[in-house]
Amino acid sequence: MPRIPFNVDAYTARLIGRENVSKLEGAVIELVKNTYDADASCCVLYYDETQNALYLADNGSGMTAQTIQNHWMTIGRSSKKGNYISGEGRIQTGEKGIGRFALDRIADKCQMLTGTRNSSGKLLWTVDWTAFSEGRNITEDTMKAFLGRTGADMENISKELEKLICYTMGQDTITTEDVYAVCTEQTENRIFEMIQSITEKNRRKAMDLYADLLAMKEPPMRILFLITRQFQQLMLLKQMSAEGLDRSELAKKASIPPFALGKYQAQCRKFTLADLRQAVEDCVDTEEQVKTGRMGDQLGVELLIMKYTEKNSGH
């Protein structure tokens, strides 16, 4: 088949893939998920030790040249986004639309032979990841800053990445300052900062962040939901801290992007397990009082923030 260029800088895509699929096992699992999503009834995984090569074969539906170009080769775009049910009625399991960019976790060179049941021949897709080590320079620290600002949603990452590339047109290097200048920070990041302010007993900053979110037209109940979710994630991390799990397992079980795990772990150490349980209970209690009409939603969240930023509180 003809050579198809990546629709964004491929070195950038490679870094994103590595941040989201941090281990070899995760990359292999993502490929196996793809065979399931393609309605395969058979999947064979074989490692040839003599050739140091990994083979994966399946009898799924395959891809056309158009599918490869418009979905497989376009970062952030997945054919599963709008239709998560396969042709055979399976609920699709592949994640994020970037599994193909994590293939370099398995090998520097990859080949894919594919075809649909209606095609007369097969298509061969080949990639050499070492060819993308040069180009516009973006360090891993800058990429982490980018992902930290955009969150883990691939549709948002794709949109913000396009903005960043346009903003740095003509530059050899994308810097962290470029990321902060042009990339929009997501609501979840402001919630993280708010919880950080709570750990520091910095009431003014926490309330300023709350006011910013309200000014951005974020509903108080959504803000409460996000605060509750973060306390729940921190509590889960605290509970799992003694289990000896590796970083990828911790991130997966706590539903935290791997690139953000370190920040969550640092925040988690600021609380005891009892503190976090009480915080979750207080969040649930606030929600109940709002829904039963005993308290206004905006006031409820404000009182919750004030309670947890009290200088002499036990939290």
pLDDT band at 231 (very low <50, low <70, confident <90, very high): very high
Residue 131 has pLDDT above 60, yes or no: no
**N- to C-terminal Cα distance for the chain?**
62
Q: What is the pLDDT of residues 101-115, one digit of tens each?
A: 667 778 878 888 888
Q: Is the dihedral of CA 250, 258, 111, 116 positive or negative?
A: positive
Q: What is the pLDDT of residues 27-56, one digit of tens each?
A: 888 888 888 888 999 999 998 888 888 999
Question: How many helical (H) and strand (E) elements, i.e. helices and strands, does the chain have?
Answer: 13, 6
Backbone angles phi, psi at 10, to 5 degrees: -70, -30
Rounded CA separation 35/272 (Å): 43
Q: Which residue has the tokens 């056309």?
A: 64
Residue 174 has pLDDT above 60, yes or no: yes
In this prediction, residue 160 carries a pLDDT of: 83
In this prediction, residue 66 carries a pLDDT of: 75
Rounded CA separation 207/142 (Å): 29
In this prediction, residue 163 carries a pLDDT of: 83
In this prediction, residue 291 carries a pLDDT of: 94
Please state the three-class secondary structure of 263-290 as a single string: HHHHHHCCCCHHHHHHHHHHHHHHHHHH
Average pLDDT for 147-170 = 76
29 touches 107 (CB < 8 A): no
Q: What is the pLDDT of residues 175-201, one digit of tens each?
A: 899 998 988 877 877 888 888 898 888
Put simply, whether the predicted model's pTM sits higher than 0.85 gets the answer no
Rounded CA separation 55/272 (Å): 47
In this prediction, residue 74 carries a pLDDT of: 58
Q: What is the mean pLDDT of the chain?
A: 80
Neighbours of 83 (CB within 10 A): 10
pLDDT band at 7 (very low <50, low <70, confident <90, very high): very low
Conformational region of residue 119, where left means phi above 0, alpha means psi within -120 to 50, and beta covers everything else: beta
Report the percent of the chain where pLDDT is more than 90: 24
Residue 5 has pLDDT above 50, yes or no: no
Residue 150 has pLDDT above 70, yes or no: yes
DSSP 69: I
DSSP 90: P
